[in-house]
Amino acid sequence: MYKIQTNSLAIKSQNWIANALLKLMESHPYKDITVTQICHKANLVRKTFYRNFDSKEDILHFILDNLFNDLKKSSGEPTYIELLDKIDKLETQLEIQSNLIEQYEEYNDARMGKYFNSEDFL
């Protein structure tokens, strides 16, 4: 899980990292993106990344939490366009999470198949 920050610079760092990941995802599959690439894109060192996140999956949780919090905080009645925009963002993030789950399941199935099919196991 990502770290809940109160320091304004740490919060900015988290946002820079999140934006860097989203920007990289425009041109690269999520599974191919590395922490190093994210840090390079955000102009931050890896130490800063790991002070704020344990993994790149944590960045997605951070992004989703921020979207949900934005929805909660919106004062008054949001306009139809604002709702559509937020729904659009949520759908994109949910699609990303769904793809991550599929990739993890494929990886896990392959790993477990290798383990259970090995001669050492038999």
- For residues 1-27, average pLDDT: 90
CATH node for 8-117: 1.10.357.10
pLDDT at 77: 60
Q: For the segment 77-95, what is each residue's pLDDT rounded down to a tens digit?
A: 666 677 778 888 888 888 8
The dihedral region occupied by 76, where left means phi > 0, alpha psi between -120 and 50, and beta the remainder, is: left
> pTM, whole model, 2 decimals?
0.60
What pLDDT, in 10s, does the model give residues 88-121? 888 888 888 888 888 888 887 877 776 666 555 5
Task: Return the pLDDT at 76.
Answer: 60
- Cα torsion angle, 54, 87, 24, 40, sign: negative
Check: CB of residue 35 under 8 Å from CB of residue 52.
no
81 alpha-carbon distance from chain centroid = 25
Residue 17's alpha-carbon distances to 23, 25, 73, 83, 90, in angstroms, are 10, 12, 23, 25, 19
Q: Where are the domains of the chain?
A: 8-117
Q: What confidence tens digit (pLDDT) does each residue in 32-43 have?
A: 999 999 999 999
